[in-house]
Amino acid sequence: MSVYAALTALNAQQTKLDVIGNNLANVSTVAYKSQSATFSDLLSQTLSSSSAASTTSNTGGTNAKQIGLGVSVAAISTNVTSGSITSTGVDTDVAINGGGYFIVEGDTTGSYYFTRAGNFGVDAEGNLNVNGYKVCGWEPDADQVIDTEAAVSGINLFYNADGSSKQVIAPEKTTTATMDGTLDSTTEAQGDSVFDIGATTDVDADASATISVYDALGNEYDVGVDYTKCYSATVYDKDGTATDLTTVYWEASDSADNVNASGSGYLAFDSTGKLLTGTYYSSNPTVTGATPETYTFAKTYDISMTAATDANGNKLVNIDDFTVSMDVSAVSLYTEGSISV
């Protein structure tokens, strides 16, 4: 029995040394958590308890009498506290400061694991992975909204779930352009009447603005809009109410040889500068080799040389690189702009 008890102690000590050796072997492993072995008695029984020395009987104290079957490893505990965070200079390396884990997927679909290893990379198929495991998350929908109640899936930087490519942003034609600014009210009127500018070749624009627009193929064009003070007069409605009216003539044009950006009209303002006519006007450019597009210009007021301009649409854009944001959401960076994945 004594030999058996000794062997259990040796076996337990061997396990402890194995745990220590494993800790040392993984000292450079990213996100490795150290372990420690805890021992316990296999079986322990006290036959007699200890006693103190007696002055009455002049006897010394005695130790307790115990028997047992030796020792065993009760548990191998893992230290899950956060380690020190080190800067690596690699944009895709991340670390969790505090609680939490990254969700990763193994070779078998639906076999998920948790890890704190943040040495992310991208494999040949575009999967964001760590040590061969796919990093999982939630894909945003078309409106860039993320539903965290849905099931997670592997993050792929090259392809969408439907197989379409993420490596390019498809071209989108311009449908709306917005312009706003101010026009000097003291400018001399150049028109013949309230809504008649006369011969446009005889007028000089008081203000101009340029905005970039795109056709369905992603080709970019600069469309210019000229503004000319047309006429100021007092007009009367059917009830005889008088209104001091000032009109401004606008005309869209483009100097490119293969673009004809046609469009013109009048803006009417009262004496306070309030725009009385509609705020949306259409221009219909025709582009060589492409289907004609219609652009809607939204004018919140009238335009000056330093007017703010904006338009939807974009050219074809290719992916360049990606980084990981501070909230650990992957972001694909393009040559112009960015998109979350």
Q: What pLDDT, on a 0 to 100 scale, did the predictor assign at position 295?
A: 47
Q: What pLDDT, on a 0 to 100 scale, did the predictor assign at position 2?
A: 67
Residue 249 counted as domain residue: yes
Q: What is the pLDDT confidence band of residue 32, given thresholds at 50, 70 and 90?
A: confident
Res 303 pLDDT > 50: no
Q: What pLDDT, on a 0 to 100 scale, did the predictor assign at position 28?
A: 85
* Mean per-residue pLDDT, 19-37: 90
Residue 114 counted as domain residue: yes
Whether residue 163 sits in one domain with residue 220: no
Mean pLDDT, rounded, of the chain:
77
Split into its structural domains, the chain has a count of 3
Whether residue 186 sits in one domain with residue 305: yes
Whether residue 185 sits in one domain with residue 148: no
Residue 18 counted as domain residue: yes
**Which domain-ending residue is among 22, 44, 78?**
78
Residue 92 counted as domain residue: no
Residue 189 counted as domain residue: yes
Whether residue 246 sits in one domain with residue 196: yes
Res 129 pLDDT > 80: yes
Other C-beta atoms closer than 10 Å to the C-beta of 302 total 24
Q: What pLDDT, on a 0 to 100 scale, did the predictor assign at position 134?
A: 92
DSSP conformation class of 84: -
Q: What pLDDT, on a 0 to 100 scale, did the predictor assign at position 335?
A: 52
263-280 tens-digit pLDDT: 788 888 888 888 887 655
Whether residue 283 sits in one domain with residue 198: yes
Whether residue 304 sits in one domain with residue 231: yes
HEC per residue, 260-318: EEECEEEEEECCCCCECCCCEEEEEEEECCCCCCCEEEEECCECCCCCEEEECCECCEE
d(Cα 153, Cα 103) in Å, to the nearest integer?
Answer: 9
Q: What pLDDT, on a 0 to 100 scale, did the predictor assign at position 214?
A: 80
Whether residue 151 sits in one domain with residue 224: no
Residue 95 counted as domain residue: no
Res 23 pLDDT > 90: yes
211-256 tens-digit pLDDT: 888 877 778 888 888 889 999 988 888 888 888 889 899 888 775 5
Q: What is the pLDDT confidence band of residue 21, given thresholds at 50, 70 and 90?
A: very high
Whether residue 202 sits in one domain with residue 124: no
Q: What is the pLDDT confidence band of residue 122, given thresholds at 50, 70 and 90?
A: confident
Whether residue 184 sits in one domain with residue 155: no
Is the sign of the CA dihedral 202, 206, 210, 216 positive or negative? negative
Choice between 279 and 333, residue whose per-residue pLDDT is larger: 279
Residue 160 counted as domain residue: yes
Res 285 pLDDT > 60: no
Residue 114 lies in domain: 102-167+319-340
Choice between 263 and 111, residue whose per-residue pLDDT is larger: 111
Q: What pLDDT, on a 0 to 100 scale, did the predictor assign at position 24?
A: 95
What contacts 166, CB < 8 A, 6 or more positions away? 126, 156, 157, 158, 159, 160, 319, 332, 339, 341
Residue 187 counted as domain residue: yes
**Radius of gyration (C-alpha) of the chain in whole angstroms:** 39
Whether residue 281 sits in one domain with residue 185: yes
d(Cα 208, Cα 225) in Å, to the nearest integer?
Answer: 6
Res 22 pLDDT > 90: yes
Whether residue 278 sits in one domain with residue 299: yes
Whether residue 219 sits in one domain with residue 161: no
